[in-house]
Amino acid sequence: MVSARGLSRTYVSGPQTVLALREVSFDVAAGEMVALVGRSGSGKTTLLNMLGGLDRPDSGTVQVDGVEVTELDDGGLSALRRESVAYVFQSFGLLPALTAAENVGVPLRLRRTPVAEREERVALLLDLVGLGEHALQRPSELSGGQQQRVAIARALAGSPRVLIADEPTGQLDAETGLSVIALLRGIVESEGVTAIIATHDAVMVSLADRVLTIADGRVDA
Ligand SMILES: Nc1ncnc2c1ncn2[C@@H]1O[C@H](COP(=O)(O)OP(=O)(O)OP(=O)(O)O)[C@@H](O)[C@H]1O
Ligand SMILES: [Mg+2]
């Protein structure tokens, strides 16, 4: 489902050059939940950004669901993010002016899903993440764990093939993190999505089907 070949990415800031990714190659099968682990600065976010087409490698290729991501133009990348790859960020990334339900509905609006169908799917997803009672609250009126669950519901709204999450429990306390992890694990099963999750959380790692370790921009696949 996801295939990376020889990915390299260098950052140049002033006199400094950082080799953030060095010839990274690996494959992730459909329906697999992979934990991406490595210490701070090892290249996890850089790698996830390449997989989701948020950034381009200097060299190497990424294939997602048969699409050569590295060859897409901006329009193609927008379509990829609208249709097959969803992102969950450590900082939730919800739109503050919108209610929980409206946030979850954003990907469906982008796809011009008919209103009735959209509302039905939003209600189903909010129930799935245990927030059916909180549909009309704005992010500022929700706890961190609740906001992250809204972000997960939003990521799933467009029925993505691949879910990319960058430290989704990084800002949550242990217990809340655990409920988000259990939720993600359950969703991978029930929705059949492929998930790649950067994490420092030992429980998340233990529940993953496979662990990819990154150190200094290198992955041992
Ligand atoms: N925009 C940038 N400009 C310059 N250097 C960058 C940039 N983004 C990341 N880096 C560098 O690239 C390396 C990898 O960073 P990255 O954010 O991928 O690490 P990470 O594994 O996600 O770390 P963390 O666990 O702290 O989130 C680091 O050395 C970082 O300083
Ligand atoms: Mg990071």
Residue 66 belongs to a domain = no
Query: Does the beta carbon of 13 sit less than 6 angstroms from any atom of ligand 1?
Result: yes
Nearest CA to ligand 1 atom 14: 43
Q: Give residue 35's pLDDT band: very low, low, confident or very high (50, 70, 90).
A: very high
Question: pLDDT digit string (tens) for 164-207?
Answer: 999 988 888 888 888 888 888 988 888 889 999 999 999 899 99
Q: Is 43 in the pocket of ligand 1 (CB under 6 A)?
A: yes
- Three-state secondary structure call for residue 215: strand
Query: Is position 192 within any domain?
Result: yes
Instruction: Establish if 100 belongs to a structural domain.
Output: yes
pLDDT-derived band at 208, boundaries 50, 70, 90 = very high
CATH label of the domain that carries residue 134? 3.40.50.300
CA 5/CA 1 separation, integer angstroms: 13
Cα atoms found within 13 Å of the Cα of residue 217, Cβ hemisphere only = 13
- Rounded distance between C-alpha atoms, residue 22 and residue 97, angstroms: 40
Q: What is the mean pLDDT of residues 32-49?
A: 95
The pair of structure tokens assigned to 110 is 């982008």
> Domain of 41?
32-55+82-220
Beta strands in 67-198 (DSSP E): 67-68, 85-88, 162-166, 194-198
- The predicted structure's pLDDT at residue 128: 85
pLDDT, residue 139, reads 96
pLDDT at 83: 85
| Residue 221 confidence class, pLDDT cut points 50, 70, 90 | low
Check pLDDT > 80 for residue 82.
Answer: yes
Query: Which residue's CA is the nearest one to ligand 1's atom 16?
Result: 43
Residue 151 is assigned to a structural domain of this protein: yes
Is 24 a domain residue? Answer: no
Task: Report, in angstroms and rounded to the nearest whole number, the Rg of the chain calculated over CA atoms.
Answer: 17
51 close to 4: Cβ distance less than 8 angstroms: yes
pLDDT digits (tens, 9 = 90+) for 114-139: 999 999 999 999 988 889 999 999 99
Mean pLDDT of 45-72: 93
Domains identified in the chain, total number: 1
In a domain, 190, yes or no: yes
CA 61 to centroid of ligand 1, rounded, Å: 20
Q: Which two tokens stand for residue 78?
A: 């927008």
pLDDT the model gives residue 141: 96
Asked if residue 68 is part of any domain, the answer here is: no
Give the pLDDT confidence score for residue 33 in this predicted structure: 95
